[in-house]
A and B are shown apart, each in its own frame.
Chain A
Amino acid sequence: MKTLERSTSAVPPPQRSRRPFWTARRRDHAVGYLFIAPQLAGSVIFVLIPLVMVLWYSFHEWNVLAGTFHSVGADNYRALADDPKLPGVLRNTALFSAGLVTLNLGLALALAVLLNQRLRGRVVFRTLFFSPVVVSLVAWTIVWGFLLQKNGGINAFLDLVGVQGPNWLRGEGTAMLSVVVVQVFKNVGLNMVLFLAALQGVPQEFYEAATVDGAGRWRQFWRITVPLISPTILLTSIITVVGSLQVFAQIAVLTQGGPGDSTTVLVYYLYQQAFEFHHFGYGATLSVLLFLIVLVLTVIQWQMRKRWVFHEN
């Protein structure tokens, strides 16, 4: 009140009759806009406009070297439908994502359950399982590439026990598996930690009650633990699925998409088309496809939430 009186006396008489322009409400609006301005402007310039442009480019052919840019109608989309490589690329992408999500979530949950026991040294194990998350992605991938060579560490140790290991990264059957496994060990610690936090939030009484009712451990796990941590399962699966579609460095370092095209996933193919073969228009068309896949998968997962997820906070 004091400030209000002081300001009215300071304002010259003609203004007194009008309501001041900067009401508390107006000021709040202005401050709100100012606070979000950098983030909003950045989102528009570096996310939304490029998204519109990618759609625009997908209807054009654009040669950087010759400096030509012209409309080609739906040609890029016809090329997409006729691309003999694309079905294989999509199959590889699906295989990679499905393998990664299954192994990652399964292992993360198993590790979290193990670490949720009352056990001395849990923190040490948690630190060890988590440590690859902080190792530079390319460094981690290089070491595994080294280990997976035909005469590399893994086969050397297999040889010691009398097993002849395959050439992991050069075999059609083993290359994809290798890439998936390398990525699982890199990031499973993150999901493990999220699961561990969720498990610690499950009330102990539920298990006690179930034990009294004669439910075994296995049954308790599926009937109590899984439903109660289902929000976390959903969250981690969304993060992991979207992340799996973005895989690039691992492929570029380990297999360069080979052998044949057996590990060429969508983002790697997009990179090749746009930045190795300079087919920018077609690269943009592949980007649109990638965007649609991400969109559809996210919508499906949100729908699943309504059906499967036990509770929400």
Chain B
Amino acid sequence: MRTKPSPRARLLLYGLLLVLCVPFVFPTWWMVTSSLKPATEIFAFPPSLLPDHPEFGAYDKVFDLQPFGQQYVNSMYIAAVVTLGTLAFSSLAGYAFARIRFRGQNALFLVVLTGLLIPSEVTIVPLFQMFRDWDMIDTHWPLILVPVFGAPSVLATFIMRQFYIALPNELEEAARMDGLGRFATFLKIALPLSRPALAAVAIFTFLHSWNLYLEPTVYLSTPEKFTLPQALTSYVDAYGGPMWNVQLAAASLTALPVLAVFVFAQRQFVEGLAHTGLK
């Protein structure tokens, strides 16, 4: 199927791809340009692809109306802690399930895997009660503990196990012959070799935490503790209607840094995810 298309076919293909790009690219463009339009111009007709008089007023309001900087920090540090925790626990468990023989291994693996069948939405009612008993409502603990141990980390453990099963064993065997202990072998030999799988796990764990919306909505009530998704939807006027230009400015501030990192490292993103997701 990967024949070289004729010039006419190629032109057609480019045209098709360009049209298909519109719904993927235009919203981001519209988000950024509209955030620079004054409130009076934001619904102007005819629509303008670029603001006539760009201004940053909406961006000032983003920080005036809510502790947006603090909320940004909250989202960043929660996603970072969740990602690091998931990487540590899933690589340890994945390695053990793939490499070490111990009693009850398969049964325990099944116990862990059931997490894949139980989306966190199913258990949110008892988890809410549990965190209430532990006095953790309106703290960040639920947003850290559940992702690090729930369904997303189970998927991570599964990916790590599959990766180690496919990874040749010789280097580790040699290291063990030289007297390296299990943990040292894991840390010094296996872990560095599993960088592609770790990168994929890190990317999807970070994005999952970054996107969480139901959980913060349920657990958090103080604006200083909000995460970004929750903050974005809190820019409403006295009647509960969205303040569009402020919401779009905050959305731009949320989306653009991650997009920039992605464009910079898109090969690792795309290919890492594709290859680890499959095997």
Contact = CB atoms under 8 A, between A and B. Distances in A.
Interface of A: 3, 27-29, 31-33, 35-36, 38-51, 53-54, 57, 62, 64, 111, 113-119, 121, 123, 125-140, 142-147, 149, 151-153, 156-157, 159-160, 181, 185, 189-190, 193-194, 196-199, 202, 204, 207, 217, 220-221, 225, 232, 235, 242, 245-246, 248-249, 252-253, 267, 270-271, 274-275, 280, 283-284, 287-288, 290-291, 294-295, 298, 313
B277 interface: yes
A28 B100 contact: yes
24 contacts: A31-B102, A39-B90, A39-B149, A43-B115, A46-B127, A47-B118, A116-B1, A130-B266, A137-B211, A142-B251, A147-B27, A160-B47, A194-B278, A197-B271, A207-B1, A246-B121, A253-B233, A267-B121, A274-B125, A275-B128, A283-B125, A287-B125, A291-B117, A294-B122
A42 B28 contact: no
B239 interface: no
A257 to B, nearest CB: 14
Contacts, number: 320
A125, A290, A313 — which one has the most chain B CB atoms within 10 A of its CB? A125
B262 to A, nearest CB: 4
Given A53-B126, A136-B228, A287 B121 contact: yes
Given A57-B126, A137-B213, A151-B43, A35 B96 contact: yes
B59 interface: no
Given A40-B111, A130-B266, A28 B121 contact: no
B123 interface: yes
Contact of B93 (A29, A36, A116, A284): A36
A51 B213 contact: no
What 5 A-B pairs have minimum CB-CB distances, sorted nearest first?
Answer: A42-B149, A32-B102, A35-B96, A53-B126, A50-B123
A47 B20 CA distance: 40
B213 A129 contact: no
A140 B126 contact: no
Contact of B101 (A32, A43, A159): A32
B124 interface: yes
Nearest to A152: B43
A41 B115 CA distance: 12
Contact of A113 (B1, B24, B218, B255): B1
B114 interface: yes
B128 to A, nearest CB: 8
B203 to A, nearest CB: 8
B41 to A, nearest CB: 12
Nearest to B149: A42
B167 to A, nearest CB: 16
Nearest to B232: A138
Given A274-B124, A280-B129, A143 B13 contact: no
A128 B248 CA distance: 20
B146 interface: yes
B36 to A, nearest CB: 14
Interface of B: 1-5, 10, 13-14, 16-17, 20-21, 23-25, 27-28, 30-31, 34, 43, 45-47, 88-90, 92-93, 95-97, 100-103, 105, 108, 111-112, 114-115, 117-119, 121-130, 132, 145-146, 148-151, 153-154, 157, 179, 182-183, 186, 207, 210-211, 213-214, 217-218, 228-230, 232-233, 242, 244, 247-248, 251-252, 254-255, 258-259, 261-263, 266-267, 269-271, 273-275, 277-279
Given A135-B259, A193-B274, A43 B269 contact: no
A267 B213 CA distance: 12
A156 B47 CA distance: 6
Contacts of A32: 96, 100-102, 105
A248 to B, nearest CB: 5
B269 A143 contact: no
B275 A197 contact: yes
Contact of A287 (B47, B105, B124, B267): B124
Nearest to A50: B123
Contacts of B28: 131-132, 135, 143
